[in-house]
């Protein structure tokens, strides 16, 4: 008890809870599978700006499991066997084409978007159906404390062109799901529900973790050596994460409705530390089975993230629409892939059963255009990472399609987590055909 409130610490799966092979729970049921939807805005660099219909720098020259890592994919070297690259796919839900980045965001639901009155903007839209992560959350959400969690790293998102560009996760056309931008708020949402509501010291009550140490010590006395080591490592990871989050810049005093703790420093966003903290929070949440579905909006569609650490001072959307800035777009793409690779590495480094969290997870990562310069929604740059509990091919491959539906990839990822799902999307974007090359 802390301040009259019951506290509890979720635990990672221990050997004592698993079968003899460490591949399932002791009762024979499978270890949980997780899904992450990961988004970055404005596409990637073209191989040749003089040939806007040509290839992307993103794509490997070889297909199959032996593909070479391009400079944009080199950040995945440490998790290469878990990473599949998909190219040549088009967002079928966007045809007939209507509006640039809005067309591209339809990839994450597989439903054609619904146009809205633009108001003072040039254009506005909302999703035409649930994003695919929410299709999965509807199936899995009742098995965990939270059905899903929505996270965001860069705050430079467009809010004037409707929910399609502002939000990544949608339960339906009328239910966009706002994302948490502050790692401390993400922590509280996932782990600190035991604190007293409206407690002004709530962010600092993470120290309540100490209140469960005695119970943990009693548990350690009843389990084997490997489980004791795992408990020690888990507690150390929680404590380290709490310290990292507390070390972020404090919130500035701005109006309550726009208050952010993910604040700029000297006008610059803290992209890397926030990204790392969000990845750490999510890895721990998955390890404790608090949720099994997450979305991460690293940067926004038509987003104005400035990659200041690369010496840039132009918003990313404008950068991608300037043919003379292709090298800068290339550098920002490499940096973005580094941020995605960190999440993959963090999941791979977290043991679970005989393997790790990445073995039992699926990450679908993509953008809202193949290249911001062209607004093209063909040849989309897509990453699928993880083994999905053994349902996805391993080692990963480069699979190139000749214009197949991106919803086929969504369905493959969804089925890896929920095999009973038979279709994703609607209208021109509907798919009932998973990508067999991705399936184990």
pLDDT value, residue 391: 96
On whether the pTM is more than 0.85, the answer is: no
| pLDDT confidence bin for 287, thresholds 50/70/90 | confident
pLDDT of residue 220: 72
- Digit-coded pLDDT (tens) for 389-409: 999 999 999 999 999 999 999
Q: How far apart are CA 126 and CA 18, in angstroms?
A: 44
Looking at per-residue pLDDT, the higher value among 209 and 190 belongs to 190
- The answer to whether residue 387 scores a pLDDT higher than 50 is yes
Of residues 65, 151, 114, the one with CA closest to residue 395: 65
Sheet arrangement for strand 382-385: 149-152, 293-297, 34-39, 361-366, 382-385, 83-87, 398-400
DSSP letter at 357 equals G
Instruction: Count CA within 13 A, CB hemisphere, residue 52.
Output: 13
Signed CA dihedral, 279, 132, 394, 286: sign only: positive
> Are 341 and 363 contacting, i.e. CB atoms less than 8 angstroms apart?
no
- pLDDT at position 1 over 50: no
Count Cα atoms within 13 angstroms, Cβ side, for 387: 18
Average pLDDT score over the chain: 85
pLDDT confidence bin for 213, thresholds 50/70/90: low
pLDDT for 210: 53
Tell me which of 16-20, 71-75, 146-150 is least confident: 16-20
CA-CA distance, 141 to 138, in Å (whole number)?
6
pLDDT of 190:
81
What is residue 144's predicted lDDT score, i.e. its pLDDT? 82
Look up residue 13 and give its DSSP letter. Answer: -
Q: Are strands 114-115 and 125-126 parallel, antiparallel or unpaired?
A: antiparallel
At residue 198, the pLDDT reads 42
Cα 356 to Cα 34: distance, rounded to the nearest angstrom: 12
Q: Which of 259-273, 369-383, 410-424 has the lowest mean pLDDT?
A: 259-273
193-202, 281-290, 358-367, 368-377: least confidently modelled range: 193-202
Calculate mean pLDDT across residues 133-140.
95
Q: Dump pLDDT digits (tens) for 302-349.
A: 999 999 999 999 999 999 999 999 999 999 999 999 999 999 999 999
Q: How confident is the model at residue 352 (pLDDT cuts 50, 70, 90)?
A: confident
Nearest to 111 by CA among 410, 376, 378, 367: 410
Could you tell me how far CA 309 lies from the centroid of its own chain?
Answer: 22
């Amino acid at each position: 008890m802390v301040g009259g409130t019951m506290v509890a610490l979720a635990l990672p799966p221990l050997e004592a809870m698993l079968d003899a092979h460490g591949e399932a729970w002791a009762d024979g049921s499978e270890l949980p599978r997780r899904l992450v939807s990961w988004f970055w805005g404005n596409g990637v660099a073209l191989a040749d700006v003089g040939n806007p219909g040509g290839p992307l720098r993103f794509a490997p020259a070889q297909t199959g499991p032996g593909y070479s890592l391009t400079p944009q994919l080199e950040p995945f070297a440490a998790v290469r066997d878990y990473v599949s690259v998909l190219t040549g796919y088009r967002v079928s839900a966007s045809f007939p084409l209507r509006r640039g980045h809005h067309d591209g965001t339809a990839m994450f639901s597989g439903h054609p978007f619904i146009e809205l009155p633009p108001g003072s903007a040039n254009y506005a839209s909302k999703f035409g159906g649930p994003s695919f992560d929410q299709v999965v959350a509807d199936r899995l959400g009742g098995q965990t404390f939270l059905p899903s969690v929505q996270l965001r790293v860069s705050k430079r998102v467009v809010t004037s062109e409707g929910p399609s560009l502002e939000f990544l996760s949608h339960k339906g056309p009328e239910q966009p799901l706002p994302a948490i931008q502050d790692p401390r708020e993400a922590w509280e949402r996932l782990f600190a529900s035991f604190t007293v509501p409206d407690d002004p010291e709530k962010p600092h009550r993470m120290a309540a973790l100490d209140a469960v140490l005695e119970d943990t010590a009693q548990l350690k006395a009843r389990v084997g050596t490997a489980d004791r080591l795992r408990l020690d490592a888990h507690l150390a990871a929680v404590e380290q994460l709490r310290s990292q989050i507390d070390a972020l810049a404090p919130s500035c005093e701005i109006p309550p409705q726009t208050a952010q703790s993910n604040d700029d420093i000297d006008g610059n966003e803290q992209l890397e530390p926030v990204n790392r903290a969000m990845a750490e929070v999510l890895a721990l949440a998955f390890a404790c089975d608090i949720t099994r579905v997450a979305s991460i909006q690293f940067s926004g569609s038509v987003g104005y993230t400035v990659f200041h650490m690369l010496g840039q001072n132009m918003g990313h959307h404008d950068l991608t629409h300037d043919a003379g800035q292709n090298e800068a777009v290339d550098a920002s793409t490499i940096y973005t892939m580094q941020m995605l690779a960190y999440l993959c590495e963090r999941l791979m480094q977290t043991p679970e059963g005989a393997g790790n969290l990445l073995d039992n997870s699926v990450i679908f990562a993509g953008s809202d255009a193949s290249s911001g310069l062209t607004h093209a929604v063909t040849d989309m740059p897509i990453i699928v990472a993880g083994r999905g509990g053994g349902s996805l091919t391993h080692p990963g491959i480069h699979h190139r399609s000749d214009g197949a539906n991106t919803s086929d990839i969504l369905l493959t990822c969804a089925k890896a987590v929920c095999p009973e799902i038979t279709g994703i999307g609607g209208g021109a974007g509907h798919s009932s055909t998973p990508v067999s090359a991705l399936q184990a």
